[in-house]
Amino acid sequence: MELRDYIENIEPYLSENEGRSVIRCVVEFSKLIAAVMPESGKKGIEVAEKFLNKEANSKDLEKIRIEIWNDIDKNYKNTAQEEALRAIICALFFPIGKNEHFDTLTYAIDFSKNANPKLNDNDFKEIIENEFKA
C-alpha cells in the first residue's frame, strides 16, 4: 500500500489526542534529517518535544517558529536546510487546524524527502505505525 493511501486509511485517527500524535510523528521525521537540520531547527525539535511533554506551551511553539522562519529568510533559501526547517515547522503549530492533520503529516514527509532524497516511504510508515499502532 502506498504511503499516502495508508495515511488516508488512518486519517480518522490523526486528530486524536488533539493532533499531538501528528506532532510526535513530525518530530521523528525531523530527526531522520538531522544531518541537514540547522541549529534553529534542532531547537525547534527540542521545543516541540517539550510541548509534547507539557514543558512548553503554544507561545513557545510560536516563538521558535518565528525564529526558524527568520533563519530561513536570512540563511537557507532554496537549500536542503530550508526543506529540513520547513519539516520541523509543521510540528510547531498547535492546535492544528480542523481537518489539517493529514496535510500536516504529508507536508512534513514531502519536506523531509526534499531535504534527504534517500529517505523512502517505509522510513515514514514505520514512524506512523509506531505512533498510531496501526
User: For 113-127, how does the pLDDT look when each residue is reduced to its tens digit (9 = 90+)?
Assistant: 999 999 999 999 999
Q: Where are the domains of the chain?
A: 18-119
Asked if 11 contacts 106 with a C-beta cutoff of 8 angstroms, the reply is no
pLDDT at 133: 83
Q: Are 22 and 105 in contact (CB under 8 A)?
A: yes
CA distance 102 to 12: 9
Handedness of CA 50, 58, 86, 24 (dihedral sign): positive
pLDDT digits (tens, 9 = 90+) for 11-28: 999 999 999 999 999 999
Chunked mean pLDDT (size 10), the chain, 134 residues:
94 94 98 98 98 98 98 98 98 94 98 98 97 82
Q: What is the pTM of this model?
A: 0.96
Taking the C-alpha atoms of residue 93 and residue 89, their distance in angstroms, rounded to an integer, is 7
User: What is the Cβ-side half-sphere exposure of residue 30, based on CA atoms within 13 angstroms?
Assistant: 35
